[in-house]
Amino acid sequence: MGDPVDMGPKKEGFWAEGEKSLGQDEDYYGDDITSDGHGQLEHHRELREYARLIAWELPLLNQLARPFEPPTSATPFRFRYTSYLGERHPAVNKVVVEFCVKDMNLTPVQSDKLIKLAGVRYNPSTDIIKMSCEDFDTQAQNKRFLGETISKLLAEAKDGKDTFADVPFDFRHHKPKPVYEFPKEWILTPERKKYLEEQREQSLLKDEQKKFSGKLIDGNSVVEGKLKVEVPELEPVTITARKGKKLR
């Protein structure tokens, strides 16, 4: 075969215009590390990147710190949002709001009407109404819906045309959790500690007496005795072979 014909520089297409030429591939001598080795190096680079963030970026967050300010009467609503640190999740759009009935500056009759309107969303143990919304695509829309719902509830509670006085309270939805108290007999007082130590000493003394008299049962020896099962030895048996048919 003759020498290869030089076709000249290859013309790149339209989609390759402006791209840097990578040149020819390097010669491969089989001295590269494995894929697992490259994975370990990538993991090491990632750890170094987070170490740099910890050293240089996290201290800057101190500039954004603000002192805690307790809620005032002008901010009675507590909104709660859910974040998955940049990951997309269906629960990200959910917004939850809580508020106390006593913080709404209502009369007793209006407070009772608001509780009846809230229904199962009212917790009689904490006097807190809790509502949530996740029907819309963004947190702002869900929060706006909750705000409008609360405004409607307050406006209806302040309406004196019908006070719902003939409607009884219904708290069947609330299941109070039992609170168990620690038994007083279990508290380790000095007298209780002394009594327990005496009981332990008496128990150890009884075990020593049984050990000297040979009445103490050793669990390890019992288990080892049960595990030792004598297997009968197999005896060889001779069997006479039958005569086969003659081959044609």
Which residues lie below 8 Å from residue 125, measured CB to CB, with a gap of 6+? 174, 176
188-235 pLDDT tens trace: 899 989 999 999 999 999 888 888 887 888 888 888 877 777 767 778
**CATH code, domain carrying 151:** 3.30.160.20
CA distances to 160, 163, 169, 216 from 166, in Å: 14, 8, 10, 76
Average pLDDT, the chain: 87
- pLDDT (0 to 100) of residue 47: 96
- Give the whole-angstrom CA distance, residue 192 versus residue 186: 8
Q: Is the CB of residue 58 less than 8 Å from the CB of residue 64? A: no
- pLDDT (0 to 100) of residue 9: 58
Q: How many domains does the chain have?
A: 1
- pLDDT (0 to 100) of residue 157: 95
25-39 burial: b if 16+ Cβ within 10 Å, else e: eeeeeeeeeeeeeee
Residue 147 lies in a domain: yes
Instruction: Judge residue 131's burial from the number of C-beta atoms within 10 Å of its C-beta, 0-12 exposed, 13-18 middle, 19 or more buried.
Output: middle
When pLDDT is averaged across residues 47-67 and rounded to a whole number, the result is 93
When pLDDT is averaged across residues 38-42 and rounded to a whole number, the result is 95
18 is written with which tokens?
Answer: 């402006």
Residue 94 lies in a domain: yes
Parent domain of 139: 78-158
Residue 203 lies in a domain: no
Residue 32 lies in a domain: no
97-113 pLDDT tens trace: 999 999 999 999 999 99
- pLDDT (0 to 100) of residue 5: 54
Percent of the chain residues past pLDDT 70, beyond the cut: 89
**Banded model confidence at residue 22, pLDDT cuts 50, 70, 90:** confident
Residue 125 lies in a domain: yes
227 is written with which tokens?
Answer: 């595990």
9-19 pLDDT tens trace: 566 666 767 76
- pLDDT (0 to 100) of residue 97: 97
- pLDDT (0 to 100) of residue 246: 59
95-151 pLDDT tens trace: 999 999 999 999 999 999 999 999 999 999 999 999 999 999 999 999 999 999 999
When pLDDT is averaged across residues 70-77 and rounded to a whole number, the result is 88
Residue 230 lies in a domain: no
Residue 111 lies in a domain: yes
CA distances to 15, 126, 177, 183, 184 from 180, in Å: 74, 19, 9, 9, 12
When pLDDT is averaged across residues 172-199 and rounded to a whole number, the result is 90
Residue 216 lies in a domain: no
